[in-house]
Amino acid sequence: MPTFYGTQVDSRLMLGTAQYPSPAVLEQAFRRSGAGIATVSLRRESAGEGAGESFWGLIRDLGLPVLPNTAGCHTVREAVTTAQMAREMFGTDWIKLEVVGHPDTLQPDPFGLVEAARILSDDGFKVFPYTTEDGVLAGRLLDAGCEVLMPWGAPIGTGLGLNNVYGLRTLRAQFPDVPLVIDAGLGMPSHAAMAMELGYDAILLNTAVAKAGDPAAMAEGFARALEAGRLGYEADPMEPRDMAAPSTPVIGMAFLE
């Protein structure tokens, strides 16, 4: 199982807590998924004093490590301030860092992301940066103090899967010893299996589960796909080939004249 900043988690699935139709459905999805980490938003927790306390109580009852995020932040200052507030509220120095650079694609701002990552790392945070599959940006984030990288599969909430398989495969090869998590854009369990087959360590989901007709069943589907994909990766799969090759040997077969 993956290890993040010296902490081993019990599952390769990180699951978000937003957009579920009810708290009961959220809890069912987590129970059936066996998720190892719950991601939470400071904005969600602070929506109302009563509602926030009820939500936080539900998350505590799950007994999982919590990964707060800076979702919706568009500037370095906003992201850093949100992270500091989240550390105080949730009692953890883990932070999923988002610095949004484009309002439509929600693509990370690479310059702001690196700057915020450096500030937070220097302040003792363990930063999980939401980034793209760009190898140069990945290197800058590692230099800034990050020990985990979370490249997107596709824009947040689109369900498109892995848009740039080549780029993601290259990133895995470029940083073989860095924990890599696919964050955003996955829509089906098959996308999760593909991420595992590329050698990624975990995935982070929210919309694909929360917006499914049966969130609990979809959460379990993703969990099973992660297991299958990882088993396939660890089994050292055959290399693809252009020409056909018979699976049954021709030596010893009878020839008819």
Residue 48 has a pLDDT of: 47
Q: Domain segments of the chain: what residues?
A: 3-235
10-residue mean pLDDT profile of the chain (257 residues): values are 93 94 93 94 57 73 91 95 93 96 91 98 98 97 98 95 96 97 96 97 96 96 97 91 80 60
Any bridge partners for residue 16, and if so which?
39
Distances (CA, A) of 47 to 5, 166, 254, 256: 30, 40, 76, 79
Spatial distance between the Cα atoms of 123 and 137, rounded to a whole number of angstroms = 21
Q: Which residues are annotated as a binding site?
A: 157, 184-185, 206-207
Q: Which residues are annotated as a binding site for 1-deoxy-D-xylulose 5-phosphate?
A: 157, 184-185, 206-207
Following DSSP, what letter does each residue of 4-67 receive, concatenated? ETTEE-S-SEEEE-SS-S-HHHHHHHHHHHT-SEEEEEHHHHTS-HHHHHHHHHHHHHHT--EE
- The class of domain 3-235 in CATH terms is alpha beta
Number of H helices, E strands in the chain: 10, 10
Q: Whole-prediction pTM value?
A: 0.89
Please list the active-site residues: 96
Nearest residue to 225 (alpha-carbon basis) of 13, 44, 4, 63: 13
Spatial distance between the Cα atoms of 214 and 55, rounded to a whole number of angstroms = 21
Instruction: Count how many residues are written for the chain.
Output: 257
